Amino acid sequence: MNKTPVIHTENLVKKFGAFTANDKLSFDVFKGEIFGFLGANGAGKTTAIRILCGLSKPTSGIVNVAGFDIYKQTEKIKQNIGYMSQKFSLYEDLTIRENIRFFAGIYGLSSKTIKDRTNELLTKLEIMDLGDKLISSLPLGWKQKLAFSIAVFHRPQIVFLDEPTGGVDPITRRQFWDMIYEAAKDGITVFVTTHYMDEAEYCDRVSIMVDGRIEALDTPSGLKKTYEAENMDEVFLKLARASTTASD
């Protein structure tokens, strides 16, 4: 991992009326890093992710994603990132190949590139004979692995994963992380949220949001040392329990 920032924020503030959802967030995410973005429900994670993906503008502050400015170059940002969440992954009533062609087409890849990479991908996932199956016929674990592969199909600089492993069985959950490691090794920066605290340990660095602020940011081992905790679960509980808005 080198120290080139692919995400840079300085005093990022987002307000909804009188409510401050993101309060002066300043952090860098480096190329090829697996960055865990943690926080309690309602801490402001989704707001921040929407901004970083170019879907919403900050109220103030400097934000650069993949080398582009959040105020003027959101379309450029969208072309250079990938996104997947637990809630929305792929079109159920399209086949695997159709989903790939659809998403790759949106990112403007040529037919030839799409064809080559599709075969490459299906071979790698060992599902060459399943290409014409509807997504709805696949088990959840497979859908999530495929959704991840499609999110990085256009070789983005950064991929945002919003609770990608929620509800997935424990073996598939670990296979999913093998895929994340592999993407990071290929130089793709991974920005991931999760409620599984063991997965926080798999990240290179982890930030923890509390009440709209980044309360801690360090390597998992650094955080455990600072908060005198056995594991990330304890770190999280110590920080999030201190929250002033107990409503969520």
Partner 1 sequence: MDQYAVVAKDISKAYADVEALNDISLEVKKGELFGLIGPDGAGKTTLFRILTSLLLPDSGSGIVENFDVVSDFKKIRKIIGYMPGRFSLYQDLTVEENLNFYATIFGTSIQENYDLIQDIYVQIEPFKNRLAGKLSGGMKQKLALSCALIHKPDVLFLDEPTTGVDAVSRKEFWEMLKTLQQKRITILVSTPYMDEAGLCDRVALIQKGKILEIDKPQNITKQYSLPLFEVKTSRMYQLAGDLMEYASTQSAFRFGDSIHLSLKNEETSEKEIVDYLTGKGHGQIAIRKIEANIEDCFMWLMNR
Per CB under 8 A, residues contacting partner 1 are 39-42, 86, 139-141, 163, 166-172, 174, 177, 181, 195-198, 200-202, 220-221, 231-233, 236-237, 240-241, 243, 246-248
d(Cα 231, Cα 223) in Å, to the nearest integer? 9
Q: Which is nearer to partner 1, 40 or 147 (CB)?
A: 40
Q: Nearer to partner 1 by C-beta: 34 or 53?
A: 34
Q: Which 8-state DSSP code applies to residue 74?
A: H
Q: Is the Cβ of residue 105 or residue 167 nearer to partner 1 in the bound state? A: 167
CB of 164 to partner 1, least distance (A): 12
Question: What's the CA gap between 84 and 164, in Å, rounded?
Answer: 7
Cβ at position 47, least distance to partner 1 in Å:
13
Minimum CB separation of residue 25 from partner 1 in Å reads 19
Which residue shows structure tokens 């002066």?
Answer: 24
Is 33 within 8 Å of 8 (Cβ atoms)?
no
Residue 152 backbone phi and psi in degrees, to 5? -110, 10
Amino acid sitting at position 194: T
Closest separation between CB of residue 158 and partner 1, Å? 20
Inter-CA distances, 209 with 45, 227, 236, Å:
7, 15, 10
- C-beta of 109 vs 223, nearer to partner 1: 223
